[in-house]
Structure 1
Amino acid sequence: MIKELKSKGLSNTQIANEVGVDRKTVGSWLKKNTMPAYKTRAVKESKLEPYKAYILDRMNEGCVNAAVLYDEIVEKGYQGKLTILREFMRPHREKALSKASIRYETPPGKQAQVDWGEFFAQQADGKFKKLYAFIMILGYSRDYYLEFTENSKFDTLVGCHERAFAYFGGVPETILYDNMKTVVAHSHKAGSDKWNQRFFRFADHHNFTPVRHRPYRPRSKGKVERGVKYVRGNFWPRIKSFTDLVDLNEKALIWLDTKCNARLHQTTRRIPKEALLEELLQPMNLDPFLATDLVSRKVMNDCMVSYESNYYSVPFRFVGSRVGIRDLRNGMIEIYDETGSFIDSHRKLSGKHQMQKMKKHFEGLLTQNRQAKARKAPLVIPDQSPKVHQRPLKVYDSLIGEVTQ
């Protein structure tokens, strides 16, 4: 065709425009006597090819994060770029996201799920304070427990568990956790070595089995993750103000009892607090697991102990003794004697140099003090000697005069 057009007097540029090729290509082809031949390029196998089956399997399991899958296949030997992986995943992503999941239901008493949520409250000075919400949900009944705390540290986590067990009236057989460091020490290890050993002892103390949530499998911990969203969307907007954590947790308990656990659950079509009666929970160990050493303080003469620059009363019989203070980090502190026996609890004071007294701690002290003073006072003893009638001296002078006359 090119040679024919050339024979008709067209220029190389006109021919190039006519047949849709470059002008230089027209010139090189006109110099040849035979038709140009094209060699088929050998298709080079993609660096991703050996890993495609693994990637599709992981996407079917619910992991659609390209960065996560990239790290996994790099460990298996992949040497390509992340962009190649993204291109391969793009047409499969929508199918993986829309894939129906099989709901995992547990029998009564079998499992609970635990997670933390972060919330922010505005203080009087305009600054925002971070609060932590501990949430435990029973798998069968969907009964919730909610508690707000100052932090999510180990001793706080342990205390929240024990109060949740008390609220539910028992302990489930297993509890599911994500990879929080207070629970899981080594996510890559197996057996008991993967657990934080202090938490493992706590689980043994209350006779339940901790179960680790499999990474990148959000559906396996969906109950409690939806629970955090439910608290954020249903409870938190109801709270316009609160005085302290104790006040906030009192509001949370009212919400649990009157709204959350009293509603018709959309999945089970049952009321959680009624289904709770069917949970086959184990009895909880009534001895608290003291996760941290108690803060030792000496009881002063005024029946007060100092903690974080504030003062709290204890029964007067402990004056001069040492007691232990346990900060629950939920707005309350507990006081124990030297044997570890519980004495009393106080609402935690904010600020400094404040004092909190309980009237009952001083009952009997005033009476005892008065009795002690009476015993130490001098006794008034009546004079027991014979009484002698006393006369003026002039009487005796007159008597002597009579005798001498």
Structure 2
Amino acid sequence: MVKNGEYFKMKDMRERGMSITQIADELGRDRKTVRKWLQADEPCGYPIRKPVAGKLDAYKDYIRKRMAEGCLNAMVILDEIRAKGYTGGSTMLRLFMQPLRPAVQSKATERFETQPGEQAQVDWGEFKVEQDGRMKRLYAFIMVLGYSRAMYVEFTEDSRLDSLMGCHTRAFTYFGGVTRTCLYDNMKTVVTGQDESGETIWNEPFTRFAGHYGFTLRRCKPYRARTKGKVENGVGYVRKNFWPRVSTFTGLQDLNAQARHWLNTIANQRLHGTTFRVPWEMWKEESLRPVTEVPFAYAERHPRKVSSDCYVSFEANRYTVPFQYVGSVVEIEDEKNGTLRFYCGGQLIAEHPKSMGRRQIVSNKKHFEGIRSTSSRPVGEPTPRYVPQAAPEVLERSLSVYDSLMEEAVLQ
């Protein structure tokens, strides 16, 4: 197609007396083309193409909304819009999201790799949820195996020592073993300070816990959080990939069930961005030490008496136990992860999800089964029994005795 600048040049050359052949030779055009354009009153523009709707167009408003809410993870948004019908790939989505992202300044660092079974890195992350119109703080315990990048996540009410030890125990069970060392920052539940020579002073109860499970404590350098960058990245990954997927949850037990599903289907099954391998596949190469079968007593148990209606009160809520324990004193073990366990005589008798509210009733119908069959017949009032009075005994005498008495009465 002839451009409009070339059209006006043809007109000028024609007005200067040049023939169509001369103009065609000068511009390298066919004579028919030159004649056609010279006969036209004005240059023809390019046809305006109708815009074609892209695969992503219908979802751009939703993407902007999710990014405004703080979800900047492209894979999370990709899963969400695919559920809404999006058929495109992730590249188109990333290109659209890139100019909308806030600028992030990164610093160079050196990466250290560990051998299989050598090290696990541990940290806490803080998350906020809305409950009854108020913001409540939850804590996420995160352990990452240094070699495979396999991850364990558990949400708790607090980050106290008993919660930390309980999370370790369940993480070891999840991984099926214990690493030779565990790396921590300066959390107070693990590190209490340092002596005059700069050596770390460890929390004494936690050192006994570490000795019980057979792992060595390691501390990252102060103000050098990047020395445990694997778990730092893990905290960020949980915040960006798991947390945006949580729309609602009924309690910590439900939240941890969602986290476990995410671990088993996404976090530990993805192609890791650093190793370019699947963490669960690399986990098979970890030479973990076996977990001791002897438990470590880390959680405090709270004694409570079972009322006549089979309920036990704990932290302003009521929970059922089997009716056979009415009147007994039971012990409640709170692991601060959304689960309450009830013991009597050292035996586990009940387990409940812990209520996050107050004045709630949590019951299990099975705890009442059999209560009617054993006590359905009412105890009646005592009824006196009539006993007839016995007839008096009569002395038997011969008739001659009575005849003599009659003769005496006549003589008188």
Q: TM-score range by the shorter chain?
A: 0.5 to 0.7
Distance 1:207 1:371 in 2: 58
Q: Say whether 1:105 aligns with 2:108.
A: no
Measured in 2, the distance between the counterparts of 1:372 and 1:276 equals 62
Q: Does the aligned pair in 1 maintain the 2:180–2:289 contact within 8 Å?
A: yes
- 1:187 corresponds to which of 190, 194, 202: 194
The correspondence of residues 5-404 of structure 1 with structure 2, limited to 5 A, is 101-125=109-133, 127-188=134-195, 194-339=201-346, 341-370=347-376
Q: Deviations over 1:242-282 (max 9, x none)?
A: 23222221211111111111100111111011111221222
Q: CA deviation at 1:320?
A: 2.4
Q: 1:288 to 1:365 in 2, by over 3 A?
A: farther
TM-superposed CA distance for 1:191, in Å, is: 10
Gaps of 5+ in 2: 1-104, 385-412
The alignment partner of 1:278 has SS state of coil
C-alpha offsets along residues 352-401 of structure 1, whole Å, 9 cap, x if unaligned?
A: 33222212223333333358979x999xxxxxxxxxxxxxxxxxxxxxxx
Unaligned runs of 5+ in 1: 1-96, 379-405
Q: Identity over aligned residues, as a percent?
A: 53
Report the TM-score, using the length of structure 2 for normalisation: 0.62
Give me the whole-angstrom Cα distance separating, in 1, the residues matched to 2:197 and 2:219: 10
Q: Are the aligned partners of 2:226 and 2:232 in contact in 1 as well (CA < 8 Å)?
A: no
Q: Which residue of 1 aligns with 2:97?
A: none
Total equivalences in the alignment: 280
Per-residue CA deviations over 1:205-247 (Å, capped at 9, x if unaligned) read 2222121112133332110011111111111222223232222
Query: What residue is the counterpart of 1:85 in the other structure?
Result: none
Change (3 A) 1:206 1:119: same
113-122 vs 185-194, greater mean Cα deviation: 185-194
Distance of aligned partners of 1:315 and 1:351 in 2 relative to their CA distance in 1, 3 Å threshold: same
Q: What letter is aligned with 2:370?
A: G
What's the offset of the Cα at 1:351? Answer: 3.0
CA change 1:142–1:324 in 2 (3 A) is: same
Q: CA RMSD in A?
A: 2.9
Pairwise CA distance, 1:141: 1.0
Distance 1:360 1:335 in 2: 15
**Once the 2 structures are TM-superposed, how far is the Cα of residue 193 of structure 1 from its aligned partner?**
7.2
Q: Residues 281 and 327 from structure 1, CA distance in 2 versus in 1: closer, same or farther, beyond 3 angstroms?
A: same
Evaluate the alpha carbon distance shift between residue 103 and residue 377 of structure 1 in structure 2; reply closer, same or farther with a 3 A threshold: farther
**Structure 2: which amino acid aligns with 1:117?**
G
> More deviation in 226-235 or 281-290?
281-290
1:280-328 CA distance string (max 9 Å, x none): 2222234443324311111222222110121111123322222211222
CA distance in structure 1 between the aligned counterparts of 2:142 and 2:197, rounded to whole angstroms: 26
Q: Tell me how far apart the structure 1 counterparts of residues 148 and 251 of structure 2 sit (CA, whole Å).
A: 31
SS of 1:295's partner is strand
AA aligned to 2:280 is K
- Residues 149-177 of structure 1: CA distance to partner in whole angstroms, max 9, x if unpaired? 11111111111111111211122111111
Determine the C-alpha separation between the residues in 2 that align with 1:192 and 1:297. Answer: 44
- The change in CA–CA distance for 1:370 and 1:166 in structure 2 (over 3 A counts) is same
Cα distance in 2 for partners of 1:101, 1:114 equals 20
Would you say the 8 A contact 2:121–2:228 is kept in 1?
A: yes
Are the structure 2 counterparts of residues 99 and 370 from structure 1 closer, same or farther at C-alpha, using a change threshold of 3 Å? closer
Q: What amino acid sits opposite 1:369 in the alignment?
A: S
Determine if contact 2:331/2:342 at 8 Å carries over to the other structure: yes
Q: Does the C-alpha gap of structure 1 residues 267 and 365 become closer, same or farther in structure 2, counting only changes over 3 Å?
A: same
3-state SS in 2 of match to 1:296: strand
Give the letter for the 1:364 counterpart: G
